[in-house]
Amino acid sequence: MKPTVYIDTTIPSYYVDTRPSLAVHIERTRVWWDEEFDYYNVFTSPFVLTELDEGDYPNKPQALEIIQRVPILAPDPEIEIIVQDYLENHLMPIGDDRDAFHLAFTSHYKMDYLLTWNCAHLANVHKRQHIAKINQKLGLFVPIILTPLELLPPEGRD
């Protein structure tokens, strides 16, 4: 069985980005998407579609186009409760619940990995510890949160 991966908004947006300052991240994202994507069962949420649609970033139409390849997890009322718990436990900044929604979808659906370039609120060693503590307290699955630099294909691939 393939491992499951939830991708947040940063993955498709970096895939289509062209800024020289992000060249390493862009290249690694493209390699992951083009060469390693099929080693996983990849999912996203309606919140990624909304963020991509509302965002202001380079090559937005292309990002919206490539995300069409990814199945979208269904919203569930439990996810909104999880988001509120995250905010009440100061897991994410008050006033911006987008990252909390990404984490809630990943945890609720027991995705093995949350793939992101958001190192401030998600792929951050200090946040990972806090996330694990809160998810365990809430009886939720604790996903592994990482960047495309860390998510390599499983060993033994063809």
Instruction: Per-residue pLDDT tens, the chain, 158 aa: give them.
Output: 899 999 999 999 999 999 999 999 999 999 999 999 999 999 999 999 999 999 888 899 999 999 999 999 999 999 999 999 999 999 888 778 999 999 999 999 999 999 999 998 899 998 889 999 999 999 999 999 999 999 988 775 55
CA atoms within 13 A on the CB side of 134: 21
Q: How many domains does the chain have?
A: 1
What is the model's pTM? 0.94
Sheet holding 144-146, edge to edge: 41-43, 4-7, 113-115, 144-146
Instruction: Indicate which CATH number applies to the domain containing 63.
Output: 3.40.50.1010
3-state class of 23 per DSSP?
helix
pLDDT for res 158: 52
pLDDT for res 22: 95
pLDDT for res 157: 56
Structural domain of 99: 4-146
Determine which helix (DSSP H) or strand (DSSP E) holds 31, and give its type and residue range: helix 23-31
pLDDT for res 34: 97
Torsion sign (Cα): 59, 60, 65, 68: positive
Q: Which is nearest to 135 in space by CA: 76, 80, 91, 78?
A: 91
Any domain includes 154 = no
Q: Kindly report the backbone phi and psi dihedral angles of residue 63, in degrees, each rounded to the nearest multiple of 5, phi listed first.
A: -65, -45
